Amino acid sequence: MNQEPKPKSGKKLRLDKILSHLGLATRSESKKLAKQGRIAVDGKTVKDSGLQVDPELSSIEVDGQPVRYREFVYLLLNKPQGVVSATEDRYDRTVVDLLDTEYLAFEPFPVGRLDKDTEGLLLLTNDGKLAHELLSPRKHVPKTYEAVVLGAVDESDGQAFAAGVTLDDGYKTMPAELEIVRNYVLDDESRSDIRLTIMEGKFHQVKRMFEAVGKKVIFLKRVTMGPLELDPALAPGQYRELSEDELRALRGE
């Protein structure tokens, strides 16, 4: 099982804050647990829930169970269709609604957005700095999509995308790389399976790029974002934590 990167040593936090951050107990509940002798630090029972503890250098147990502290959480989700990329929504189920309770205490949010009817790779985290780096327009983080397109996609479309196409609002896209996987006919309609790598993330960009060349996307799935690749073991709606290697790659280490 992959271990999480440890927080830097020397950072002391109140014991009740640690437990609250992890969603294990509120501050008042932590006070009660301590008074009942149910919290131990470095093997010794602690009666003061306000004790300052270094979560890396000290071992913490509640009811004999070890507590693993981490400041941030990084989740790789295979977003299903019909779910919105948001932390809350009045009408639709959100990607946060797919998470187990243990992760909700970290208040993770989606890094960028996938359309409601688009599926595939979505990163959720509470690391605002990393999210900003990935979403910064200056970074030009590559993103690869697989799509089914109505119409016969051909070499001329690839050339147009490589040169940049003008969208309906007048914006000209950055050069993109188009791979035609196959062309076929289904229900008397020409269709194409493609892979498209773009270096930006404008609203509905992939769909609008194909509209600019007279075609329509009917299925869309994101399979990469920067160094991250969608885990084929994850069914739509499933997720897992990033491995240490994935996290280091994401940070450019």
Does the fold of domain 143-225 match that of domain 13-67? no
Q: What is the pLDDT of residue 25?
A: 86
Q: What is the pLDDT of residue 3?
A: 45
- 120 vs 9, residue with greater confidence: 120
The one catalytic residue in 97, 115, 193, 231 is 115
| Average pLDDT value for residue range 30-49 | 92
Summarised one tens digit per residue, pLDDT across range 223-244 is 999 999 999 999 999 999 999 9
CATH topology of domain 74-137+228-251: Alpha-Beta Plaits (3.30.70)
| Average pLDDT value for residue range 193-215 | 96
Summarised one tens digit per residue, pLDDT across range 84-93 is 999 999 999 9
Per-domain boundaries in the chain: 13-67, 74-137+228-251, 143-225
| Average pLDDT value for residue range 188-207 | 95
| Average pLDDT value for residue range 47-64 | 88
| Average pLDDT value for residue range 140-150 | 96
CATH topology of domain 13-67: 3.10.290
Dist CA 67 CA 31 (whole Å): 16
- Looking at the predicted structure, is the pLDDT value of residue 4 above 50? no
| Average pLDDT value for residue range 147-174 | 97
Average pLDDT along the chain: 91
Residue (of 97, 30, 34, 132) closest to 239 by Cα position = 97
The two tokens of residue 125 are 């985290």
Q: What is the pLDDT of residue 68?
A: 81
Q: Residue ranges of the alpha helices (H) in the chain?
A: 15-21, 27-35, 101-104, 128-135, 155-163, 205-212, 244-251
- Looking at the predicted structure, is the pLDDT value of residue 7 above 50? no
When pLDDT is cut at 50, 70 and 90, the band that residue 101 belongs to is: confident
Q: What is the pLDDT of residue 9?
A: 53
The strand pairing partners of 150, in sequence order, are: 191, 216
Three-state secondary structure call for residue 2: coil
Instruction: Let me know: does 122 contact 95? Beta carbons within 8 Å.
Output: yes
- Looking at the predicted structure, is the pLDDT value of residue 1 above 90? no
- Looking at the predicted structure, is the pLDDT value of residue 209 above 60? yes
Q: Strand 52-53 and strand 44-45: pairing?
A: unpaired
Residue 78 per-residue DSSP state: E
Three-state secondary structure call for residue 220: strand
Question: Is 136 exposed, middle or buried (CB count within 10 Å of its CB: 0-12, 13-18, 19+)?
Answer: exposed
Contacts of residue 67, Cβ cutoff 8 Å, sequence gap at least 6: 18, 19, 22, 24, 60, 61
- Assess whether 115 carries a catalytic annotation: yes
Domain 143-225: assigned CATH number: 3.30.70.1560
Contacts of residue 154, Cβ cutoff 8 Å, sequence gap at least 6: 180, 183
Summarised one tens digit per residue, pLDDT across range 57-96 is 888 999 998 888 788 999 999 999 999 999 999 999 999 9
Instruction: Indicate if the alpha-carbon torsion angle 19, 21, 22, 23 is positive or negative.
Output: positive
Buried b (16+ CB within 10 A) or exposed e, 224-246: bbeebebbeebeebebebbeeeb
Dist CA 155 CA 46 (whole Å): 70
- Looking at the predicted structure, is the pLDDT value of residue 6 above 50? no
